[in-house]
Chains A and B, each alone.
Chain A
Amino acid sequence: MGLILGVDICDDYSQISSYDTVSGDVESITLGGEGAAERIPTVICKKNGCDEWLIGEEAYRNALIGQGTLVDRLVRLAIKNGSATLEGTKYKAEQLMFRFVQKVIGLAGRRYETDEIDSLVFTLHESGPRINDVLIRVAESLNVSREKVHIYTHTECFVYYILSQNSEIWSNQVSMFDLKDNAIYYYELRAIRGRRPVVIEAAREKLPEGFSLSVLDTPAGEKLADSILSSCAERVLAKKTVSSVVLTGKGFETTNWAGEFLNVICNRRRVFQSSQIFAQGAAYAAYDHTLEKSAYPYLFICEGRLASTVSLYAVFDGRREQIVFAQAGTNWYEAGTKASFIVDDIKDVILDVTPVAGNKTLQVSVSLDELPSRPNKTTRIELSVTFSSEKKMVVKIKDCGFGDLFPSSGIVIRGEYFIP
């Protein structure tokens, strides 16, 4: 059996976890073997005068002693479609990302003595068309075929992680604090059990009280940080039935300094700390993709997932039927499809956008005025619906003509629409 991996790639640190199908648990993989830090700085260094590449702390060390050139912020570089010049050679962000991911995944390969990958989920702080495309191509270059790769947001992997724990953990709302350098992210998850399938709603919020983790180097700074976090927790947890609180992020590697904060969050709640929430959540998700039937029969509504179903009504085999183009709860990057239709006496294509929350269906109308005038029912269109985020739908209508009888004009109507 091949590897089942979850890889968290952030601009500061990256992490990798593997799912063990025997124990049914996930295991963190570190750069330095057992006991070593689970966070791998997302940096790459090319050693001078040779084609040797280093990642993580080793990359920093080599750059510091002048034996190589370092490139950091690899995610941002890829989003900007940038490049870096190392020893006179220009490397595209994608090439650097490939070398970095190759090294990270290589850790798992060495650990389990196999290069075969059965399922791979990358998780990002925020996903987007460009970075997603880059990671897909990187995976393909590593011989991981497209259908075995998925890209999820941190919020989605937070959901996978929590739902993989004992259900008592998420019997009520679950809160999570991710303490990073200069940023605090607060996550919430709740299950809406009155619906079928059960809706899992999750959200992420950047709290305004972020601080530099270097303040934890002094007792006064620790006290200040504890106080800031306590007031944050009091505010965000007020009047909520929270069954569990999770702490993650570099700032929570130790919690000795956060006595006041712990007092606030431990009040009638389970509290646990995990440094690899996202990578482990990704590994759970990766395993789920190897199953015929998902172990998570829920409707996910969170960042990265569509909150609405997109459909239209069309005649099929003589009956008027609803054709679903994208189902609510689907990852936006994987959602959408295309289908061919014959235009029968209509001037606009009307797409129904039905949000999970609320009963009101919105209509998106795409005019067909640009298409050439032909006798009725002699225009075939290819309608494709894709997404560039969970809130942005891209509709393309291509004129396919009607065979030799009415050749295609080649016209493509394209529109972008914000959806709830």
Chain B
Amino acid sequence: MGNLILSRSPKKSKPFYVEKLGIHLYTAEELSYFIYNNLMLIDENFIDDKLCDFIEEAGYPQLTVKLKKWRDDSTVWELMLVILQDIHYYNSKELETFRDEAIRIAKEGYEGIYKEKADYLSEIGRLYEAIKMYDTLLSSRDIDNNKIKAEIYESKGVALARLFAFEEAKNAFLRGYELSPDERFLEKIYMTHLLDGSVNYPEELVKTALSKEYEPTLKKWNDKYSETEKQIMSEEPLAFIADLKERDTRKKKEGFLKLITDWKSEYKRNQN
């Protein structure tokens, strides 16, 4: 059954800044939501004095006392659970799910959690940080499974492509293919070529791998690319740019300025 949840904490004038996402949290409920949905962004450094001050000001002084007292003897997941429990934004069933997820992460081990975290960072646009993490994983001696290594190269390639580094992306996909020959790597290699014609496309390698299926597969990939291109053009920010063309000069200028500012802040965040 649905409900209204009475909010104890009014919007704070001094919000809590989450550097990794470049956003401000103004209430205890927003903090709960952030923790619950961004598990991968949380580490031991998350609980600091600034967070404690924010929680206290948001109307939960007792919770602050608990956090300060238990900070040194508890895991970050245990402390997160205490925060979620005390704020009461999530019900017991949702907290159970959170607990399970925290336990899973704790059990996953180094490469499992690290890869998942890197993927998450890549998904939310923190590409440089994600790439650094992929490189750390790839240089780790703990990973001796070629299939897993190939997957890491694949993820790295995607992140590089999103940074318009198509040649480097192609190389990552190529390395992934060498470790674990699979058609999906060839497709991604071909796509980097379509995205940027200057990318050195290893035609012979692909031809040999696909043999008789080369022509029809290429056609299939071309169709897929056209379809994706259409879709991308209708999405932000490209649709936004197209829309700006229709507006008057002043609005157009303001619009572009805002877009560039957003990109700049995103870039700065990525550089940190």
Contacts and interface: CB of A to CB of B under 8 A. Distances in A.
Interface string A306-342: 0000001111111011010000000000000001111
B201 to A, nearest CB: 41
Q: Which 6 A-B pairs have the closest CB atoms?
A: A346-B2, A345-B2, A404-B23, A340-B7, A342-B5, A341-B4
Contacts of A341: 4-7
Interface string A271-287: 00000000000000000
A405 B5 contact: no
26 contacts: A313-B4, A314-B5, A315-B3, A315-B4, A315-B5, A315-B6, A315-B88, A316-B8, A317-B8, A339-B7, A341-B6, A342-B7, A342-B89, A343-B4, A344-B3, A345-B1, A345-B2, A345-B3, A377-B33, A402-B30, A403-B11, A403-B27, A403-B30, A404-B24, A404-B26, A405-B23
A380 interface: yes
Interface of B: 1-8, 10-11, 15, 23-27, 29-30, 33-34, 88-89, 91
Interface string A215-245: 0000000000000000000000000000000
A346 B15 contact: no
Which of B30, B88, B89 has the largest count of A CB atoms less than 10 A from its CB?
B30
Which range holds the interface residue count of chain A? 20 to 34
Given A339-B6, A339-B7, 11 more contacts: A317-B88, A318-B88, A320-B3, A341-B7, A342-B89, A345-B3, A380-B27, A403-B11, A404-B24, A404-B26, A405-B23
Contacts of A315: 3-6, 88
Contacts of A384: none
Contact of A404 (B5, B10, B25): B25
From DSSP, what is the main secondary structure of chain A's interface residues?
strand
Nearest to A344: B3
A344 B33 contact: no
Max chain A C-beta neighbours (<10 A), residue from B4, B26, B29, B89: B4
A403 B25 contact: yes
Contact of A344 (B2, B10, B30, B34): B2
Contacts of A403: 11, 15, 23-27, 30
A102 interface: no
A173 interface: no
A162 interface: no
A349 interface: yes
A315 B91 CA distance: 10
Interface string A367-405: 000000000011010000000000000000000101111
Contacts of B34: 405
Contact of B33 (A343, A400, A405): A405
B23 A342 contact: no
A295 B1 CA distance: 44
Interface of A: 312-318, 320-321, 323, 339-347, 349, 377-378, 380, 400, 402-405
A135 to B, nearest CB: 31
Contacts of B33: 377-378, 402, 405
B23 A346 contact: no
Contacts of B23: 403-405
A344 B4 CA distance: 6
A377 B30 contact: no
Contacts of A313: 3-4
Contacts of A343: 4
A343 B6 CA distance: 9
Contacts of B10: 340
A83 to B, nearest CB: 40
B6 A323 contact: yes
A194 B165 CA distance: 83
A233 B15 CA distance: 68
Most buried by A among B1, B5, B10, B27: B5
B30 A312 contact: no
Nearest to B16: A403
Nearest to B91: A318
Contacts of A345: 1-3
User: Most chain-B CB neighbours within 10 Å: which of A312, A380, A402, A403?
Assistant: A403
Contacts of A317: 8, 88
Contacts of A349: 4
A345 B94 CA distance: 14
Contacts of A342: 4-5, 7, 29, 89
A363 to B, nearest CB: 14
Nearest to A380: B7
B72 to A, nearest CB: 27
Contacts of A320: 3
Contacts of A402: 29-30, 33
Contacts of B27: 380, 403
Contacts of B6: 314-316, 321, 323, 339-341
Contacts of B88: 315-318
A346 B3 CA distance: 6
Nearest to A348: B2
A318 B3 CA distance: 11
Contacts of B1: 345
A287 B89 CA distance: 44
A154 B11 CA distance: 41
Nearest to B86: A317
Nearest to B12: A403
Contacts of B7: 339-342, 380
A172 B89 CA distance: 53
A213 to B, nearest CB: 56
B234 to A, nearest CB: 19
A316 B25 CA distance: 21
B269 to A, nearest CB: 13
B196 to A, nearest CB: 34
A133 to B, nearest CB: 26
A68 to B, nearest CB: 53
Contacts of B4: 312-315, 341-344, 346, 349
A400 B11 contact: yes
A331 to B, nearest CB: 25
